[in-house]
Amino acid sequence: MDASREIGTFTVWDYVVFACGLLISVVIGIYYAFAGGSRETSKDFLMGGRKMHPVPVALSLTASFMSAVTVLGTPVEVYRFGIIYCIFGLTYFLMVVISAEVFLPVFYKLEITSTYEYLELRFNKCVRLFGTIFYITETVLYTGIVIYAPALALNQVTGCHLWGAVLSTGVICTFYCTLGGLKAVIWTDVFQVVIMLAGFVSVIIRAVVIQGGIRNILNDAYNGGRLNFWNFDPNPLQRHTFWTITIGGTFAWTSIYGINQSQVQRFMSCKSRFHGKLSLYINLVGLWVILICAVLSGLCLYSRYRDCDPWTAKKVSAPDQLLPYLVLDIMQDYPGLPGLFVACAYSGTLSTVSSSINALAAVTVEDLVKPNFRSLSERSLSWISQGLSVLFGFLCIGMAALASVMGSLIQAAFSLFGVIGGPLLGLFSLGIFVPFANSIGVLSGLLAGFAISLWIGVGAQFYPPLPERSMPLSLETYGCNNSTYNETYWTSTTEMPFSTSALQAHSTERTPLMDNWYSISYLYFSTVGTLVTVFVGMLVSLPTGGRKQNLDRRYLFTKEDFLSSFEFFKKKKHVLSYKSHPMEDGGTDNPAFNHIELNLADQSGKINGTHL
């Protein structure tokens, strides 16, 4: 690499390509606001009328949590730690099977809009309120970081104005989410997935040409120890092994896809349960494709800088700036392609932020507004939903501003997403799998699981694992023409792409608590939170009358729910016996939103749920 080559300039064409990507997202929102009739009712706005096709829903599921943190962070993960990250492909498969075959059947048969509505049906309003508060806190924190972190990285590498990037991201997402509702979010996600893939593919193709072919890239990765695919060490203190990724990763990703409102709201918008499951399995293919592209980008990154690491040589100030640095290095002779990559990174951010804003509005309407203001009309609820989208959009932008002054707290807040998701997964697991779980038990379990996982998460930020636990691979600088190289720069090892140096307590003596409890792999945070919640919930429910409940079996995962997976083999017969009335154009198989609308919301059996 030519160390003297200028890095970090955007041309007019780059800005044009980037601006076009943002503009198309806005146009989609305007279209569904005025041509799609998306705000007739709150159900149309929040659930797309439950008439969505599985393919766009699948692409939206893929885009929702493939943020700029993924676009910028996954290639760096491979660059620093090797392709063991590929094992997440197995994690994605296990997560999709659990979400499609366990959680989706239960949620779909109850005809719910908010996942936390299930908690009231199964337990009581107090449990639902706790679940809602946990979710809103988790999502606002995560969304603010998703807005700020990539804007920070791209600002420092490309020269884009930091707060211009932050504000444009937040305002554009809020705009098309408020106008178009879930339909706009889903179709914009479809466009953004295409942009993300185009950005990755352009990087890979250009890098392969420059490096002399894919074989040279793989040889460089092999010689650099990056093809470390298998590591079966069962030690939970090792950052990434086969077991930490498959077990810990499955818990973490199931808390995102199985119970997170942003994802559940999508597959619940499909017109039948079969289409909802199909959207999850098509989404699996999308996750695999993006994972492969990100891993290949990481290998290209290493091949290009195997003898001159820009991070160690201090040409960039953080690891998550490496991929934008590569793009501006290898694509400067192709006007518009750097802009395409920036659009790729921001498409990931836009999809995540818009998903979060729409889900936050849905949860607030269903869990906080409707139960307390029953007289509101559907039109009023629709306007309230749009107003809440604006409110949460600016709240997330404000969280991004807070993240800018927190600095080293960024990693802590990002880890909190997993810390909260684990106990929530345990809460839903108790409701679905444990018939004797009651409200006292699950609340005790939720608080205990959150306390333990938060303890680990915060401790890991102050006392991060030693390098022998995270096992970063060597990075070289002998090919650099940089006299400012500092060999000790690599010694600060972090679990995420963000620096936490201000949080780290530098101590000459490490205690067993630091070297064991705080050094557990970050992927196990959700696992510990889930297991503690389930264990404590069961333990407390038994002596507090859990076996004396009058429980409706619809709230549990039953044999019939499992067998429903095989109904599509006899679909035609089922449809003939199921439909007793003609369907309107664009009709739905979803019993909650047929053209004959049944208002069951006031029936005591559905609202009161289990009587203790």
pLDDT digits (tens, 9 = 90+) for 316-351: 877 878 888 898 888 888 888 888 888 777 776 776
The C-alpha atoms of residue 529 and residue 218 are separated, in whole angstroms, by 39
Q: Residue 52 — φ and ψ, nearest 5°?
A: -75, 145
What is the rounded average pLDDT of the residues 411-427? 77
pLDDT at 590: 42
The C-alpha atoms of residue 470 and residue 288 are separated, in whole angstroms, by 24
The tokens describing 156, both together, are 């420092």
What is the rounded average pLDDT of the residues 116-145? 88
Of 429, 473, 464, the C-alpha closest to 449 is: 429
In whole angstroms, what separates CA 151 from the centre of its chain? 18
Band of the pLDDT at 183, cuts 50, 70, 90? low
Of 395, 46, 24, the C-alpha closest to 192 is: 24
Of 80, 494, 63, the C-alpha closest to 298 is: 80
Cβ distance 186 to 60 under 8 Å?
A: yes
What is the rounded average pLDDT of the residues 71-99? 91
Of 136, 120, 107, the C-alpha closest to 372 is: 120
The C-alpha atoms of residue 536 and residue 544 are separated, in whole angstroms, by 12
What lies within 8 Å, CB to CB, of 385 at 6+ separation is 42, 45, 46, 181, 361, 362, 365
pLDDT at 176: 62
Torsion of CA 565, 571, 576, 580, to 10 degrees: 40
Is the pLDDT score of 469 beyond 80? no
Q: Provide the percentage of residues in the chain whose pLDDT is more than 70.
A: 75
Which amino acid type is present at position 458? Answer: V
Band of the pLDDT at 535, cuts 50, 70, 90? very high
Is the pLDDT score of 497 beyond 60? no
The number of residues in the chain equals 612
Of 497, 498, 519, 523, the C-alpha closest to 80 is: 497
Q: Dump the DSSP string for 529-567.
A: HHHHHHHHHHHHHGGGTGGG-B--GGGS--HHHHHGGGG
Band of the pLDDT at 414, cuts 50, 70, 90? low
The C-alpha atoms of residue 493 and residue 475 are separated, in whole angstroms, by 13
pLDDT digits (tens, 9 = 90+) for 432-444: 999 999 999 999 9
pLDDT at 243: 94
Q: Quick count: other Cβ atoms within 10 Å of Cβ 148?
A: 28
Of 178, 132, 169, 153, the C-alpha closest to 353 is: 169
In whole angstroms, what separates CA 499 from the centre of its chain? 21
Give just the sign of the alpha carbon dihedral 333, 339, 342, 348. Answer: negative
Rg (alpha carbons) of the chain, rounded to whole number? 24
The C-alpha atoms of residue 289 and residue 476 are separated, in whole angstroms, by 30
Q: Where are the alpha helices (DSSP H) in 492-523?
A: 512
Band of the pLDDT at 595, cuts 50, 70, 90? very low
The residue behind tokens 């016996």 is: 577
Q: Which residues pair with 270 in a beta bridge?
A: 52
Query: What integer best gives the mean pLDDT of the chain?
Result: 77
The tokens describing 355, both together, are 């998903």
pLDDT at 198: 86
Cβ distance 534 to 426 under 8 Å?
A: yes
Is the pLDDT score of 247 beyond 90? yes
pLDDT at 154: 67
Band of the pLDDT at 92, cuts 50, 70, 90? very high
Coil, strand, or helix at residue 359?
A: helix
Is the pLDDT score of 543 beyond 60? yes
The residue that leads in pLDDT, 124 or 26, is: 124
pLDDT at 609: 43
Cβ distance 307 to 88 under 8 Å?
A: no
Is the pLDDT score of 165 beyond 60? yes
Cβ distance 435 to 551 under 8 Å?
A: yes
The residue behind tokens 């017109």 is: 271
The C-alpha atoms of residue 79 and residue 224 are separated, in whole angstroms, by 10
The C-alpha atoms of residue 361 and residue 363 are separated, in whole angstroms, by 6
pLDDT at 522: 85
Q: Which residues pair with 550 in a beta bridge?
A: 611
What lies within 8 Å, CB to CB, of 42 at 6+ separation is 365, 378, 381, 382, 384, 385
The C-alpha atoms of residue 579 and residue 601 are separated, in whole angstroms, by 23
5-14, 179-188, 435-444: lowest mean pLDDT where?
179-188
pLDDT at 570: 52
